[in-house]
A and B are shown apart, each in its own frame.
Chain A
Amino acid sequence: MFDPSAQLLAFNSEELQEKVFPKNVIQIGSFAVNDSVISGFIVVIVLLIVALILRLTIIRKWKTTPTGGQMFLEWLVSFFDKSADEMTEKYSGLMGPYTLGAAAYICCGVLIELFGLRPAIADVCACLALALCSFLFIHTLGFVKNKQRRLLHYVNPINIITDLAVPVSMTFRLFGSILSGMVIMDLIYIVVESIWYFGLPVVIPAILTPIFTLFHALIQSYVFASLTLTFVSEAIETRPKKPKKKRKQKTASPAAGAAE
């Protein structure tokens, strides 16, 4: 007796379970390498090679009348530089390249799913590493800009918890959305296998992949970059000193009155 629903449920609990959590490929004692780490290294190598090729071909032939590739590169770099300029005034030289690098890593780390590998970001540790990089940037720049005055920020102990929650929430936002996209796509692949109509197993994933993989990759990399910039701009804003401000107001008001 063929029962399609029972077959689907059986698929869900066994085949999907293997795909949700990363598998350890190499394990020597407590040192373990899973398949997400391997695809992460592949992404890094591919990004470095692409950067080298772009440096040797397009950037060497930089012209005043731009070609298509030059236009795209200029748009990409100036997009991140401009948003870094708006948010973090004098540290934009540091934050622009960092956000571009993080966004490129996230985007390519998710899009590697299209080649059949496990996404590099679908591992909590990869997300935690990225979030800790942002955490480091936020607080280093905050202390560099405001020096010891930033410690006044921690007089209210709730701010400590708020600051510690930032990397955790960044980690789980990235991990959750990438993992959910991956799980939905895996579910679709499993369901599609049992459909034997001609062509449908090819057409359905082709329609759904842009929604759950491409869309997630672009949106999450953009959100990660702009969240980092927002938190950095929050950390480096200078707080007005209260006693000095009162003195200034007192001295300023008679002068203003005299001027009037």
Chain B
Amino acid sequence: MELLVTMMVNLLVDMGPAIGAGIAALTGLGAGVGMGIATGKAVEATARQPEAVGKIRTMLLLGLAFAETTAIYGLLISILLIFM
């Protein structure tokens, strides 16, 4: 039993940063859903009103930048966890 616990602790100490980096990569989920919704709505808006495509594109890019931010934070954290 003690051997098993020691093994688990050793594994966690060795692999802890890697596990943390994997968990941090889950931020991509939220960003993906958000960006998908934004793009879908932009396509709907363009279909409804094709002459407003310039304004819609500007707003879409801004929204995508905001949605992408969370994914970038996750990426940054996993890079720091792996390499520091």
List residues of A whose CB falls within 8 A of some B CB: 16-17, 20-21, 83, 169, 172-173, 175-177, 179-180, 183, 219, 222-223, 226-227, 230
Contacts and interface: CB of A to CB of B under 8 A. Distances in A.
Given A20-B79, A21-B83, A227 B73 contact: no
The SS class assigned to the B binding surface is helix
B62 A176 contact: no
Interface in B48-76: 58, 61-62, 65, 68-69, 72-73, 75-76
B61 A177 contact: no
Given A176-B73, A180-B72, A227 B79 contact: no
Contact of A20 (B61, B65, B69, B83): B83
B31 to A, nearest CB: 12
Contact of B76 (A16, A83, A179, A222): A179
Interface string B32-45: 00000000000000
Chain A interface, DSSP helix/strand/loop, else mixed: helix
A227 B66 CA distance: 10
A200 to B, nearest CB: 27
Given A172-B69, A176-B73, A223-B61, 8 more contacts: A173-B72, A175-B76, A177-B72, A180-B75, A222-B61, A226-B58, A227-B62, A227-B65
A176 B76 contact: yes
A20 B83 CA distance: 8
Interface of B: 58, 61-62, 65, 68-69, 72-73, 75-76, 79, 83
A176 B72 contact: yes
Nearest to A220: B65
B65 A173 contact: yes
A161 B62 CA distance: 22
Contacts of B75: 176, 180
A176 B44 CA distance: 31
B78 to A, nearest CB: 10
Given A219-B61, A223-B62, A230-B62, A173 B69 contact: yes
Contacts of B58: 83, 226
B83 A16 contact: yes
Contacts of A180: 72, 75-76, 79
Question: Lowest 7 A-B CB distances belong to which pairs?
Answer: A176-B72, A223-B65, A176-B76, A173-B69, A20-B83, A17-B83, A180-B75
Contacts of A177: 68, 72
B50 to A, nearest CB: 21
